[in-house]
């Protein structure tokens, strides 16, 4: 028996195996080889798992870098991104001692943790000293560089995101990966979870509420609430799996006004059923944000808050609400959180200015993707100007079967953007193109410029292109000089071109030749088109048209095209060019029907449009991409810089017969000669 003890103790110490002696004494087989084999297998498995994790991290980093490079940002886009989303400079620590060497007696600016209660943060008195212990002095003042670095949030910008399911595991994985990438680039997403089945269930519950007892309605609400929480946790787990910290805020963010819902267990009346939700006559939502402490704390800790559409009533019963109403309430609370949500705690007041919760982006990710467009043959709009296109899109929308929630989502974005700063924008994107969110963040632009002709856009993958939505500016078309605010127009032109306008002769010329003037917003952008009469040639003969007939129709000349410098890069120039196209070379086509105030509503015949630009103008590249062609004309008398003449041909000509096209092609030289004479004879308008 003593021998057996020796053998087991030897085995415990790990010497060479003595299988035969052990089996003879104890009558059992030695398990050492199996233990050793299992240990080796576990170790080998951990090594493989670590290697696989390292490989996944490298692949994720590579995909992230490729996603950034695929955005193709311009120099202006890069400057915009670095200025708005780059790492902020660390605050400079100020001296904590006064000039006479005495120490500050103020309390720390941040709570110090007490070791006895590690789960609670509260102010702990710190003994002061009259010595020269600068470290202690800095701790008392709460101004140490380490504390500033520790407490400063890594990302100071937020996006409000609605993820509208249902999604498969692979689709949700792709979405979560996109959210993590955005966080790495400086944009933390505040996610509201949505599901199309939830909306249907809420509608059915509202319709059948009177047919069920209170117990049955309560049971249905509890089941739906449990599913909402389960889907929220599922998304949080996916975010964690992709390397992003997530925090589920299952309750406590949203509340319901009034106590009328306490005993009915009936979902609150939703305003999201109306396609045009921004109608001011509709009743206000009953939802509001009770506290933003959870959202603010999540962002400060680098976590992504994930919120289900669940609200508390005054009896603290959890109600299931519409995700659209939840997004609308959270957006309103984030836009003006200091006034709407209140600052209940000292920490809220302390961090109120340190973390700006106002969203700079709104995102809706679903299976439908962008808003379909007639001009894009059913493919999504690249960009939408809500101020001028919202009503038109709602009136002409015919894709209710394939895109049943598009109008409701567009109305939701209009409501949210109305309360956010004008610089905020929104994007509707399919789960199939999450990387486009990265490009939109870096460039703040659509995937392709909406002012480009369709022939210049890629023919593949257009169905899944995202739609960028901006509050935009109203577009008006004036055809009389008496309707134009000349001082405001002068201010716009001088600010845009950086020159002094010779106003009197310029406006005298417009009085005779004005065709139309397009104004964006409150004179924040302008396009002026004039009718320039053809000139007689050097022999005194009458000018000849492109097709050989006497020219009786004046030349449509784009005299001025300008946008305020403060709005350059925010999409205004594309909206203005689209309105210009609809009133000139695109007039008469079915995709030129946008009802701008004062416009022709698509009725009429298009015209060739010509304009000139100095050869050294940096905007010429933008003109090159949107014109049918250009050629250089000599500089005017007294100038060393020549001009480039651009033109856009009437688009309806492309539908003419081949014989007409060949005849028009032969007459191109005649047209260019005529245009160069007309454009070259226009005097400058600058002093």
> Using CA atoms, how far apart are residues 166 and 539, in angstroms rounded to an integer?
74
Quick check: 131 pLDDT over 70?
no
> Using CA atoms, how far apart are residues 268 and 111, in angstroms rounded to an integer?
40
The predicted model gives 91-104 an average pLDDT of 40
Give the pLDDT score at 667: 64
Quick check: 640 pLDDT over 50?
yes
> Taking the model in full, what pTM does it have?
0.74
Residue 343: band (very low, low, confident or very high) from pLDDT cuts 50, 70, 90: very low
Give the pLDDT score at 450: 82
The predicted model gives 613-639 an average pLDDT of 86
Give the model confidence (pLDDT) of 358-381 as tens digits: 999 999 999 998 999 888 888 899
The answer to whether 579 touches 596, Cβ cutoff 8 Å, is yes
> Using CA atoms, how far apart are residues 366 and 467, in angstroms rounded to an integer?
12
> Using CA atoms, how far apart are residues 520 and 476, in angstroms rounded to an integer?
7
Percentage of the residues of the chain whose pLDDT score is greater than 90: 36
Give Cβ neighbours of residue 413 (< 8 Å, ≥ 6 apart): 362, 364, 386, 426, 428, 469
Give the pLDDT score at 86: 60
The answer to whether 220 touches 266, Cβ cutoff 8 Å, is no
Where in the chain is CATH 3.40.630.30? Answer: 477-680
Residue 584: band (very low, low, confident or very high) from pLDDT cuts 50, 70, 90: very high
Quick check: 523 pLDDT over 60?
yes
Quick check: 542 pLDDT over 80?
no
Looking at per-residue pLDDT, the higher value among 608 and 602 belongs to: 608
Closest C-alpha to 390, from 364, 415, 424: 415
Q: What angle do CA 158, 149, 128 make, to 5 degrees?
A: 130
Of 84-93, 167-176, 203-212, 291-300, the one with minimum mean pLDDT is 84-93
Give the pLDDT score at 539: 46
Quick check: 330 pLDDT over 90?
yes
Give the pLDDT score at 553: 77
Residue 14: band (very low, low, confident or very high) from pLDDT cuts 50, 70, 90: very low
The answer to whether 319 touches 79, Cβ cutoff 8 Å, is no
Q: What angle do CA 222, 227, 228 make, to 5 degrees?
A: 95
Percentage of the residues of the chain whose pLDDT score is greater than 70: 62
Quick check: 287 pLDDT over 90?
no
C-alpha dist (Å) from residue 320 to 49, 206, 272, 290, 317: 41, 12, 14, 16, 10
Q: What's the first-to-final CA gap in the chain, in angstroms?
A: 115
Quick check: 65 pLDDT over 50?
yes
The predicted model gives 427-438 an average pLDDT of 81
Give Cβ neighbours of residue 624 (< 8 Å, ≥ 6 apart): 630, 646
Quick check: 591 pLDDT over 80?
no
Pairing of strands 318-320, 310-312: antiparallel
Q: Is 213 helix (H, G, I), strand (E, B) or coil?
A: coil
Quick check: 9 pLDDT over 60?
no
Quick check: 15 pLDDT over 70?
no
Give the pLDDT score at 564: 94
Rg (CA), the chain: 34
The predicted model gives 45-54 an average pLDDT of 49
Quick check: 45 pLDDT over 70?
no
Give the model confidence (pLDDT) of 435-452 as tens digits: 677 777 777 777 788 888
> Using CA atoms, how far apart are residues 476 and 56, in angstroms rounded to an integer?
54
Mean pLDDT (the chain) is 75
Quick check: 254 pLDDT over 60?
yes
Quick check: 403 pLDDT over 60?
yes
Give the model confidence (pLDDT) of 476-495 as tens digits: 999 999 999 999 999 999 99
String of DSSP letters for 554-596? PEEEEEEEEE-GGGTTTTHHHHHHHHHHHHTTTTTSTT-----
Distance of CA 671 to the CA centre of its chain: 44
The answer to whether 599 touches 609, Cβ cutoff 8 Å, is no
Closest C-alpha to 345, from 394, 388, 399, 294: 294
What's 448's DSSP letter?
S
Give the pLDDT score at 95: 39
The predicted model gives 1-21 an average pLDDT of 42
Quick check: 4 pLDDT over 70?
no
Class of domain 477-680: alpha beta
Residue 54: band (very low, low, confident or very high) from pLDDT cuts 50, 70, 90: low
Give the pLDDT score at 211: 66
Quick check: 71 pLDDT over 80?
no
Pairing of strands 304-307, 187-195: parallel
Closest C-alpha to 670, from 539, 547, 555, 553: 547
Q: What angle do CA 181, 452, 590 make, to 5 degrees?
A: 120
CA dihedral 568, 574, 577, 583 (to 10 degrees): -140
Most confident of 98-102, 145-149, 452-456: 452-456
Q: How many CB atoms lie within 10 A of CB 186?
A: 18
Looking at per-residue pLDDT, the higher value among 664 and 176 belongs to: 176
Pairing of strands 514-520, 525-532: antiparallel
Give the pLDDT score at 39: 42
Residue 252: band (very low, low, confident or very high) from pLDDT cuts 50, 70, 90: confident
Give the pLDDT score at 116: 36
The predicted model gives 608-620 an average pLDDT of 92
Helices (H), 444-514: 486-497, 503-513
The predicted model gives 237-249 an average pLDDT of 93
Most confident of 181-195, 427-441, 537-551: 181-195
> Using CA atoms, how far apart are residues 141 and 160, in angstroms rounded to an integer?
36
Closest C-alpha to 221, from 317, 315, 347, 342: 317
Looking at per-residue pLDDT, the higher value among 549 and 226 belongs to: 226
Give the pLDDT score at 374: 85
Give the pLDDT score at 642: 84
Most confident of 89-98, 165-174, 453-462: 165-174
Helices (H), 155-245: 169-184, 196-207, 214-241
């Amino acid at each position: 028996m003593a021998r057996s003890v020796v053998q087991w103790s030897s085995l415990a110490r790990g010497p060479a195996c003595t299988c035969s002696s052990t089996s003879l004494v104890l009558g059992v087989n030695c398990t050492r080889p199996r233990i050793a084999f299992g240990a080796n297998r576990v170790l080998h498995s951990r090594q493989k798992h670590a290697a696989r994790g390292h490989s996944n991290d490298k692949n994720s980093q590579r995909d992230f870098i490729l996603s950034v490079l695929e955005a193709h940002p311009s120099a202006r886009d890069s400057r915009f991104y670095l200025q708005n989303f780059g790492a902020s400079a660390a605050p400079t620590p100020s001296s904590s001692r006064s000039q006479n060497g005495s120490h500050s007696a103020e309390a720390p600016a941040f709570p110090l943790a007490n070791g006895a209660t590690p789960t609670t943060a509260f102010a702990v008195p710190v003994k002061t000293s009259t010595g020269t212990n600068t470290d202690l002095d800095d701790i008392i003042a709460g101004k140490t560089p380490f504390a500033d670095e520790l407490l400063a949030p890594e990302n100071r910008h937020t996006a409000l995101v609605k993820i509208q399911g249902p999604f498969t595991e692979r689709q949700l994985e792709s979405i979560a990966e996109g959210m993590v990438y955005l966080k790495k680039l400086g944009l933390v997403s505040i996610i509201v979870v949505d599901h199309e089945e939830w909306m249907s269930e809420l509608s059915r519950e509202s319709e059948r509420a009177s047919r069920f007892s209170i117990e049955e309605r309560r049971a249905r609400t509890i089941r739906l609430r449990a599913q909402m929480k389960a889907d929220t946790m599922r998304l949080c787990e996916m975010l964690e799996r992709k390397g992003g910290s997530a925090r589920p805020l299952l309750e406590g963010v949203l509340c319901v006004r009034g106590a009328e819902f306490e005993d009915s267990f009936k979902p609150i009346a939703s305003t999201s059923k109306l396609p045009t939700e921004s109608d001011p006559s509709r009743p206000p939502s009953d939802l509001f944000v009770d506290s933003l402490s959870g959202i603010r704390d999540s962002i400060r800790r680098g976590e992504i808050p994930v919120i289900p559409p669940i609200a508390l009533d005054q009896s603290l019963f959890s109600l299931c609400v519409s995700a659209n109403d939840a997004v609308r309430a959270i957006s309103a609370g984030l836009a003006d959180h200091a006034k709407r949500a209140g600052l209940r705690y000292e920490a809220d007041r302390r961090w109120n200015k340190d973390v700006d919760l106002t969203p700079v982006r709104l995102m809706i990710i679903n299976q439908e993707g962008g808003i379909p467009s007639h001009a894009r043959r059913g493919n999504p709009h690249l960009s939408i100007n809500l101020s001028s296109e919202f009503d038109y899109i709602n009136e002409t929308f015919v894709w209710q079967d394939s895109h049943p929630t598009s109008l409701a989502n567009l109305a939701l974005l209009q409501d949210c953007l109305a309360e956010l700063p004008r610089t905020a924008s929104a994007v509707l994107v399919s789960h199939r193109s999450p990387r486009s969110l990265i490009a939109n963040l870096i460039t703040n632009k659509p995937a392709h410029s909406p002012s480009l002709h369709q022939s210049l856009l890629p023919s593949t993958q257009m169905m899944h292109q995202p739609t960028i939505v901006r509050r935009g500016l109203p577009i008006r078309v004036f055809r009389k000089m008496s309707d134009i605010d000349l001082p405001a127009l002068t201010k716009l032109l001088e600010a845009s071109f950086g020159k002094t306008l010779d106003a009197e002769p310029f406006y005298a010329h417009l009085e005779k030749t004005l065709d139309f003037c397009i104004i964006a917003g409150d004179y924040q952008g302008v396009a002026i088109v004039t009718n320039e009469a053809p000139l007689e040639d050097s022999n005194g003969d009458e000018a000849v048209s492109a097709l050989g007939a006497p020219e009786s129709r004046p030349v449509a000349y784009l005299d001025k095209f300008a946008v305020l410098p403060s709005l350059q890069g925010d999409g205004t120039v594309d909206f203005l060019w689209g309105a210009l196209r609809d009133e000139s070379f695109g007039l008469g086509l079915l995709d030129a029907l946008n009802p701008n105030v004062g416009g022709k509503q698509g009725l009429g015949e298009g015209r060739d449009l010509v304009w000139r630009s100095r050869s050294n103008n940096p905007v010429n590249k933008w003109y090159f991409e949107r014109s049918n062609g250009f050629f250089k004309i000599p500089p005017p008398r007294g100038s060393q810089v020549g001009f480039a003449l651009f033109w856009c041909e009437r688009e309806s000509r492309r539908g003419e017969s081949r014989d007409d096209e060949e005849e028009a092609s032969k007459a191109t030289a005649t047209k260019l000669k005529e245009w160069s004479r007309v454009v070259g004879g226009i005097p400058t308008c600058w002093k």
